[in-house]
Chain A
Amino acid sequence: MKRTFLVLVAILAGVTLMIVAAHHLQPSANAKNGGMGALRGAPAPDFTLKTLDGKTMKLSDLRGKAVLLNFWATWCAPCKIETPWIVDLQNQYGAQGLQVVGVSMDDESDGEDVKKFAAEMRMNYPVLRGNEDVGNAYGGLEFLPTAYFVGRDGNVTGRVLGLKGREDMEDNVKKALATKAPTQTAQK
């Protein structure tokens, strides 16, 4: 009787451990894309996207500036909380070479909601319409908000996943600003 009980428990434990192991070994969306951490120190994936007023903007055209790349969406409540901090950071550090770029990941929107949201939040920086390709290039963007910080040399210096605090963002902005811009000869 006891032996049967133990055998059953052992089988159950084995099956459970296999399920748990499979859960942990299953590649996540991030892993499939090399993981968000894989971008740190690497050149920021370049992209060309449209702004809300229909112009095009290329990330690499901002070389020489520190860039706060903020991925957000209108339906994201935490994004709404951090937006005023980002507006403040643009005001505070813009003169030192910070350029905030907002990338809206509102797939289903016709753009009007995004425009309205941007106006209500007084976004003082360009807002681009993101897409899946750009999202995948930046680790899959499984959730929002996600911010990447790009140094003056075009390399990723940091990231903030989800809502943390203004201090986290400001520390990352300072790190990005502290990088050196490529020399003109290097640019050629």
Chain B
Amino acid sequence: MQRGGTAVLAVLVMALGVPAQELSPGKTGGPSVSLVAAALPSIIRGEAGSVDLRFHIANGYHINSNKPSEEFMIPTAMHMEATTDIVIGKISYPPGQDVSFEFAPDQKLSVYSGYFTVGVSVRPLHTVPPGKYAMRGSLKYQACDNRACYPPKQLPVEFEVRVVKAPAPHRRRSPQSPHAHS
């Protein structure tokens, strides 16, 4: 009985492996980049916080980093929609990996492959009621594999931020200057 189950599992694993073997231009329907995870961060209103967005690039593909090494390459860039309650700050990108490809062995291109994380700095206004707030934006990227490049794409990105009140200040019985014990 267990042998039968093992055989079915083997067929299952083989079936799952089929798409992964077809990574060549024109056979996959193009590369994909997806938002893997955005932890729901709690950010104190009136203070700046950062949201880390983790992306995954499909196996066999790479995308340009935010600072491509070549003049005409399209950088990976995150664009956030402005909100009335939360100020969008600096967007930080990881450095690219300098990689040579089969099509240009003497040249190094600055790219991302596999996983990469983009940090978005946000600052809820003092007046924002505590709660969850949806943030929207898009990631522009242009992907290639070892033989071809695919047109630039925009990946819609959505995540939530939990805005919380600042913790109540610690009260002391004896009144004194806040600088007195610094």
**SS of A interface (majority):** helix
Is B128 located at the chain interface by the 8 A CB criterion?
A: no
Rounded to whole Å, the gap between the CB of B160 and the closest CB of chain A is 29
Interface residues of B in 45-95 (CB under 8 A from A): 70, 72-74
Rounded to whole Å, the gap between the CB of A113 and the closest CB of chain B is 6
Is A124 located at the chain interface by the 8 A CB criterion?
A: no
A162 to B26 Cα, complex, angstroms: 9
Residues of B within 8 A of A74 (CB): 72
Beta-carbon contact of A13 and B8 below 8 Å: yes
For chain B, give the interface size range: 35 or more
Residues of A within 8 A of B25 (CB): 142-143, 161-162
A5 to B2 Cα, complex, angstroms: 9
Of B4, B147, B152, the residue contacting A108 (CB under 8 A) is B152
Total A-B contacts with CB atoms under 8 angstroms apart: 103
Residues of B within 8 A of A142 (CB): 25-26, 29-30, 150
Beta-carbon contact of B19 and A143 below 8 Å: no
Query: How many of chain A's residues have a CB under 8 angstroms from any CB in B?
Result: 40
Beta-carbon contact of B151 and A29 below 8 Å: no
What residues make up the interface of A, taking CB atoms closer than 8 Å to B?
2, 5-6, 9-10, 12-13, 16-17, 20, 23-24, 26, 28-30, 36, 73-81, 105, 107-108, 113, 117, 142-146, 161-164
> Apart from A73-B151, A161-B25, what are 18 other A-B pairs with CB-CB below 8 Å?
A2-B2, A9-B8, A9-B9, A13-B9, A20-B18, A20-B19, A26-B29, A29-B30, A77-B149, A78-B148, A78-B149, A143-B26, A143-B148, A143-B149, A143-B150, A144-B148, A144-B150, A144-B151
